[in-house]
């Protein structure tokens, strides 16, 4: 099986040789390759079984390094970068010619971010190229937030897993760009709309569920467990599927009878959105691995990070 460790120099050497290395970020683990090495990037698509029409995000260590590969087309995006990087923000920027169209699925803009994780930042600072790094999981499945999640999926298909512990944010980055002179959010993620608007004013939501995405994370069906997942009114869903063995994922302090369910997972008893985001993918995996037949989940209040969590649940639901 693939080795899990903290050897940054080994990870660097493997990436230089065109190998795939899983890296930690504050959001989820990424499946990384040299973004300028098209053969290595092809390996990402092959190992993940990811369609070529779904663009990748590139990761860099500084705003100055970003400028080598993309242009800040609007001062507002630069303001966001300076305020939130390193962090769970991805910017959609006009790409320069040195970024292969394989990364962008033929589009003229590239998704870029600086991750807020000490180990990955140290790795990025030590190399002279960006890393393409989508989530380190089979395409469409629940994203990985621990190194063992990655190991379970890919075994020896990766060269190395760089261990950075558990991810602190737990859901993917928010994706922001410019369209028709408006700041647009293309993917809800670990940075709330409220936090973004506090810095640059009102934004427009472009949360498409598309088979022809402009950015990563816009496909209609994504982040899904293998078992059927149903999202909505828990009581009604329980009645509808009462003959099934059910795992429940919920949010808050509601009185739940364990006897009614195979397993119960509370995203956050105190209704803390950050805690819920950290727990989301972990609980989906636990429920998917249990002996239940289906998973039901309540929606969260549609504010703050609750919006991003609801977005993930809707894309994962049957």
Of 315 and 134, more confident: 134
Residue among 14, 12, 32 at smallest CA distance from 22: 32
Q: Can you give the pLDDT at residue 155?
A: 86
Tens digit of pLDDT for each residue in 116-139?
999 999 999 999 999 999 999 998
Mean pLDDT over residues 56-72, rounded?
A: 97
What share of the chain has pLDDT > 90, as a percent?
82
The pLDDT confidence band at residue 80, using thresholds 50, 70 and 90, is very high
Instruction: Find the range with the poorest average confidence among 37-41, 249-253, 262-266, 295-299.
Output: 249-253
Tens digit of pLDDT for each residue in 280-293?
999 999 999 999 99
Residue among 111, 63, 113, 69 at smallest CA distance from 87: 113
Does the structure show a pLDDT above 60 at 71? yes
Q: Can you give the pLDDT at residue 235?
A: 87
Does the structure show a pLDDT above 70 at 273? yes
How much is the mean pLDDT over the chain?
92
DSSP string across 36-52? T-HHHHHHHHHHHT--T
Tens digit of pLDDT for each residue in 208-243?
655 556 667 656 566 789 999 999 988 899 999 988
Which residues, other chains included, contact 242 with Cβ-Cβ below 8 Å and sequence gap of 6+?
none
Q: Can you give the pLDDT at residue 209?
A: 58
Contact 191, 83 (CB under 8 A): no
Does the structure show a pLDDT above 90 at 9? yes
What share of the chain has pLDDT > 70, as a percent?
94
Q: Can you give the pLDDT at residue 53?
A: 85
Q: Can you give the pLDDT at residue 260?
A: 84
Does the structure show a pLDDT above 80 at 164? yes
Mean pLDDT over residues 241-250, rounded?
A: 91
User: Rg for the chain (alpha carbons), in Å?
Assistant: 19
Write down how long the chain is: 318
State both tokens at 276: 């819920």
State both tokens at 110: 């590239």
DSSP string across 222-242? -SB-SS-EEES-HHHHHHHTT
Residue among 288, 318, 105 at smallest CA distance from 220: 318
Mean pLDDT over residues 17-43, rounded?
A: 97
Mean pLDDT over residues 42-62, rounded?
A: 94
Tens digit of pLDDT for each residue in 185-204?
999 999 999 999 999 999 99
Does the structure show a pLDDT above 80 at 181? yes
Ordered domains of the chain (ranges, CATH): 4-205 (3.90.870.10), 229-316 (3.40.50.11030)
The pLDDT confidence band at residue 246, using thresholds 50, 70 and 90, is very high
């Amino acid at each position: 099986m693939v080795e899990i460790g903290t050897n940054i120099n080994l990870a660097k050497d493997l990436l230089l040789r065109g190998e795939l290395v899983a890296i930690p970020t504050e959001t989820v683990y990424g499946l990384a390759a040299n973004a300028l090495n098209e053969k290595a990037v092809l390996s990402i698509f092959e190992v993940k079984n990811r369609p070529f029409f779904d663009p990748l995000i590139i990761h860099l260590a500084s705003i100055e390094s970003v400028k080598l590969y993309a242009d800040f087309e609007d001062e507002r995006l630069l303001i966001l970068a300076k305020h939130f990087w390193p962090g769970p923000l991805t910017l959609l920027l006009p790409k320069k010619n040195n970024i292969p169209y394989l990364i962008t699925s033929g589009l003229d803009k590239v998704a870029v971010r600086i991750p807020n994780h000490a180990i990955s930042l140290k790795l990025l600072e030590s190399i002279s190229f960006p890393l393409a790094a989508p989530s380190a999981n089979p395409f469409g499945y629940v994203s990985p937030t621990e190194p063992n999640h990655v190991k379970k999926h890919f075994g020896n298909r990766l060269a190395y897993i760089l261990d950075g512990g558990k991810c602190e944010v737990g859901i993917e980055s928010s994706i922001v760009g410019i369209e028709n002179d408006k700041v647009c959010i293309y993917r809800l993620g670990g940075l709330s709309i409220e936090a973004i608007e506090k810095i640059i004013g009102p934004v427009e939501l472009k949360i498409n569920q598309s088979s022809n995405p402009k950015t990563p994370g816009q496909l209609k069906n994504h982040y899904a467990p293998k078992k059927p997942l149903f999202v909505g009114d828990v009581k009604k869903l329980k009645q509808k599927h009462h003959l099934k063995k059910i795992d429940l994922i919920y949010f808050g302090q509601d009185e739940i009878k364990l006897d009614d369910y195979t397993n119960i997972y509370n995203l956050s008893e105190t209704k803390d959105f950050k805690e819920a985001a950290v727990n989301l993918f972990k609980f989906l995996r636990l429920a998917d691995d249990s002996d239940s037949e289906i998973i039901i989940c309540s929606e969260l209040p549609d504010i703050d990070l609750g919006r991003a969590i609801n977005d993930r649940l809707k894309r994962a639901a049957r």
